[in-house]
């Protein structure tokens, strides 16, 4: 039996695509193993957003070959689409597949012999603009939640971002295909809708044919799934009708992750984002008016070119005032072929690190406040598999992480709980009520 191992860098979309490619290998007779089990084939799914993507990619290839020196190494993903030649030059890489080709790699590879040091790796990467089809994918990681890819690519042009270059323009599955896929997913209580620019859902065959609001209305009728979660949505696309629908929906949970990137209008304009802080604050106010317990997460990029100390403090104060629960902070790092890489006003690295640290501290405080606001209240928890260190963990509808001493039989079940206290690990301890 041929053995294959996978490693994924980057976002949920990459994880769902790795799973989809994994299923293709299974259909072809492979069994999925870990690196320690010395696979015949190793597939590395890369990310271009990850800092030091090149180093991480080379490091992972080295690690894989240390564990399985004879493994046939295939590199796919956003970084493979952007820098195929650099990846092909990494010692031990046998094949590099682009965004278009990765779902067909088993058809492309006919010769599985490991390349000799004097042979070059096979490269199959076509220009991204040729990639207009949508390839469905879903992951089943912890077996309680599935990340279902419903949209791919992005047609925005944010100044710092390489994703449109790596994944091409926005395109989607049809609503019928997503509903069918959601119905076919078995034994999983929660589906997380995933995409690059999820709120832009609805472009099929290069034409806008439907929209995200219509998708969530259709999914709300899928009775075999208990919960749907929206992974991330741009503030300009998070319309009031979507917020109002989630507030009264049967299955969509009160949790939004809304990229902000900067809380300073000058920087938002330089970043070429499609909203200003006024719109963002208005969305948060509307969400909280409709769903007071809603969890709101934010992405922020610090140290963008031109961001002065005063601009950063404007962002800090803006975030401090917002009714949000957590912040994912990213220090800006230069990316080739982006507008931002040519901009003046480069912020020194140590300043980027300092600003990121300040926002991470603010995020911890916000999360702690959010958790404490809910103590004494009841919630429904979906417990996860995995009993590391004798504990079992899960999430409430509004994304409060709870932890209990391990009890058999809780995993993949929804339980009503009362949220009792915050433990030293920063998680909430619940009391089971039914
Ligand atoms: S919305 Fe902007 S940041 Fe997000 S994927 Fe598109 S271009 Fe990149």
Which parts of 199-325 are beta strand (E)? 203-204, 207-208, 227-230, 255-261, 295-302
Residue 387: predicted pLDDT: 63
Chain centre distance of CA 209: 25
Confidence of residue 390 (pLDDT cuts 50, 70, 90): confident
Ligand 1 atom at minimal distance to the Cα of residue 196:
5
More confident residue, 47 or 313: 313
In a mutational test of the pocket of ligand 1, which residue from 155, 156, 171, 335 has the highest number of ligand atoms less than 8 Å from its CB?
156
- In sequence order, the 6+-apart residues with CB closer than 8 A to the CB of 63 are 35
* Structure confidence by residue, pLDDT tens digits, 326-344: 999 999 999 888 999 999 9
Q: How many CB atoms lie within 10 A of CB 86?
A: 15
pLDDT at 434 over 60: no
* Structure confidence by residue, pLDDT tens digits, 6-19: 999 988 888 999 99
Burial 268-287 (b: 16+ CB within 10 A, else e): bebbebebebeebbebbebb
Q: From the CA of 11, how far away is ligand 1's center (Å)?
A: 13
pLDDT at 89 over 90: yes
Instruction: List the Cα angle 7/11/13 in 5-degree steps.
Output: 90
Residue 393: predicted pLDDT: 93
Tally the residues of the chain.
434
In a mutational test of the pocket of ligand 1, which residue from 78, 99, 154 has the highest number of ligand atoms less than 8 Å from its CB?
154
Q: Whose Cα sits closest to atom 4 in ligand 1?
A: 197
In a mutational test of the pocket of ligand 1, which residue from 197, 262, 301, 328 has the highest number of ligand atoms less than 8 Å from its CB?
197
Q: Are strands 401-405 and 391-396 parallel, antiparallel or unpaired?
A: antiparallel
Residue 99: predicted pLDDT: 87
Backbone Cα Rg of the chain: 22
379 φ, ψ (degrees, to nearest 5): -155, 170
DSSP assignment of 381-402 equals EEEPS--GGGEEEEEETT--EE
More confident residue, 141 or 170: 170
Taking residues 205-231, report their average pLDDT. 96
Taking residues 19-45, report their average pLDDT. 94
Confidence of residue 389 (pLDDT cuts 50, 70, 90): confident
- In sequence order, the 6+-apart residues with CB closer than 8 A to the CB of 109 are 74, 95, 122
Confidence of residue 60 (pLDDT cuts 50, 70, 90): very high
Residue 368: predicted pLDDT: 96
pLDDT at 432 over 90: no
Distances (CA, A) of 220 to 140, 171, 284, 369: 20, 22, 23, 31
- Are the CB atoms for 16 and 141 separated by under 8 Å? no
Q: From the CA of 271, how far away is ligand 1's center (Å)?
A: 10
Q: From the CA of 195, how far away is ligand 1's center (Å)?
A: 11
Distances (CA, A) of 102 to 32, 109, 131, 223: 17, 11, 11, 33
Q: From the CA of 160, how far away is ligand 1's center (Å)?
A: 8
Residue 111: predicted pLDDT: 86
pLDDT at 291 over 70: yes
Ligand 1 atom at minimal distance to the Cα of residue 154:
6
For the chain, what percent of residues have pLDDT higher than 70?
97
Residue 433: predicted pLDDT: 75
DSSP 8-state secondary structure symbol assigned to residue 29: T
Ligand 1 atom at minimal distance to the Cα of residue 272:
2
Taking residues 315-333, report their average pLDDT. 96
Taking residues 347-357, report their average pLDDT. 97
Q: From the CA of 114, how far away is ligand 1's center (Å)?
A: 37
Pocket of ligand 1 (CB under 6 A): 154, 156, 158, 161, 163-164, 196-197, 234
* Structure confidence by residue, pLDDT tens digits, 100-113: 899 999 998 888 88
Q: From the CA of 157, how far away is ligand 1's center (Å)?
A: 7
pLDDT at 377 over 90: yes
- Are the CB atoms for 76 and 109 separated by under 8 Å? no
Taking residues 118-146, report their average pLDDT. 81
Residue 385: predicted pLDDT: 79
Average pLDDT, the chain: 93
pLDDT at 413 over 60: yes
- Lowest mean per-residue pLDDT among 54-68, 188-202, 355-369, 386-400: 386-400
Strand ranges of the sheet holding 145-149, from the earlier edge strand across to the other edge: 137-140, 145-149, 190-194, 227-230
Q: From the CA of 206, how far away is ligand 1's center (Å)?
A: 18
pLDDT at 131 over 70: no
Residue 92: predicted pLDDT: 95
pLDDT at 23 over 60: yes
Q: Which of 277, 235, 270, 257 is nearest to 363 (CA)?
A: 257
Residue 50: predicted pLDDT: 62
pLDDT at 48 over 60: yes
- Indicate if the alpha-carbon torsion angle 356, 361, 364, 369 is positive or negative: negative
Q: From the CA of 163, how far away is ligand 1's center (Å)?
A: 7
Residue 130: predicted pLDDT: 66
Ligand 1 atom at minimal distance to the Cα of residue 273:
2
Q: Whose Cα sits closest to atom 2 in ligand 1?
A: 158
Task: Give the Cα separation of 184 and 186 in Å (integer).
Answer: 6
More confident residue, 130 or 422: 422
Q: Whose Cα sits closest to atom 8 in ligand 1?
A: 161
Q: From the CA of 259, how far away is ligand 1's center (Å)?
A: 10
In a mutational test of the pocket of ligand 1, which residue from 162, 163, 267 has the highest number of ligand atoms less than 8 Å from its CB?
163
* Structure confidence by residue, pLDDT tens digits, 248-277: 999 999 999 999 999 999 999 999 999 999
Ligand 1 atom at minimal distance to the Cα of residue 155:
6
- Lowest mean per-residue pLDDT among 33-37, 196-200, 355-359, 430-434: 430-434
Confidence of residue 139 (pLDDT cuts 50, 70, 90): confident
- Lowest mean per-residue pLDDT among 47-56, 59-68, 73-82, 103-112: 47-56
Q: From the CA of 236, how far away is ligand 1's center (Å)?
A: 12
Confidence of residue 318 (pLDDT cuts 50, 70, 90): very high
pLDDT at 360 over 90: yes
């Amino acid at each position: 039996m041929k053995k294959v191992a996978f490693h994924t860098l980057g976002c949920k979309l990459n994880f769902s695509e790795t799973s989809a490619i994994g299923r293709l290998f299974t259909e072809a007779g492979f069994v999925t193993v870990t690196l320690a089990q010395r696979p015949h084939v190793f597939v590395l799914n890369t990310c271009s957003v990850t800092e030091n993507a090149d180093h991480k990619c080379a490091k992972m290839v080295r690690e894989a070959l240390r564990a399985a020196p004879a493994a046939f190494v295939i590199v796919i993903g956003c970084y493979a689409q952007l820098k195929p030649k650099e990846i092909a030059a990494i010692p031990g890489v046998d094949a590099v597949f682009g965004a278009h080709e990765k779902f067909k790699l088993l058809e492309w590879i006919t010769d599985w012999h490991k390349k000799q040091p004097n042979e070059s790796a096979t490269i199959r990467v076509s220009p991204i603009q040729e990639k207009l089809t949508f390839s469905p994918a879903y992951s089943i990681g912890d077996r309680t939640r599935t990340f279902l890819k419903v949209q791919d690519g992005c047609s925005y042009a944010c100044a710092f971002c390489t994703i449109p270059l790596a994944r091409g323009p926005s395109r989607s599955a049809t609503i019928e295909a997503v509903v069918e896929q959601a119905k076919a997913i078995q034994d999983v209580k929660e589906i997380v809708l995933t995409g690059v620019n999820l709120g832009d859902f609805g472009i099929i065959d290069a034409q806008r044919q439907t929209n995200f609001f219509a998708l969530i209305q259709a999914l709300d009728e899928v009775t075999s799934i208990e919960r749907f979660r929206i992974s991330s949505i741009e503030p300009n696309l998070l319309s009031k009708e979507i917020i109002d629908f989630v507030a009264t929906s049967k299955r969509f949970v009160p949790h939004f992750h809304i990229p902000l990137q900067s809380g300073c209008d000058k920087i938002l304009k330089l970043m070429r984002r499609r909203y200003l802080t006024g719109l963002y604050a208005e969305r948060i106010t509307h969400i909280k008016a409709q769903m007071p317990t809603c969890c709101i997460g934010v992405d922020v990029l610090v140290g963008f070119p031109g961001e002065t100390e005063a601009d950063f403090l404007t962002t800090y104060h803006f975030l401090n005032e917002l009714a949000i629960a957590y912040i994912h902070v990213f220090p800006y790092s230069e990316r080739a072929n982006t507008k931002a890489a040519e901009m003046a006003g480069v912020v020194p690295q140590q300043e980027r690190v300092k600003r990121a640290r300040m926002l991470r501290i603010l995020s911890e405080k916000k999360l702690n406040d959010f958790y404490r606001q809910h103590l004494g209240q009841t919630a429904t928890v979906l417990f996860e598999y995995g009993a590391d260190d004798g504990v079992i963990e899960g999430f409430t509808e509004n994304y409060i992480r709870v932890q209990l001493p391990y009890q058999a039989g809780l995993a993949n079940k929804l339980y009503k709980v009362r949220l009792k206290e915050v433990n030293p690990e920063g998680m909430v301890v619940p009391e089971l009520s039914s």
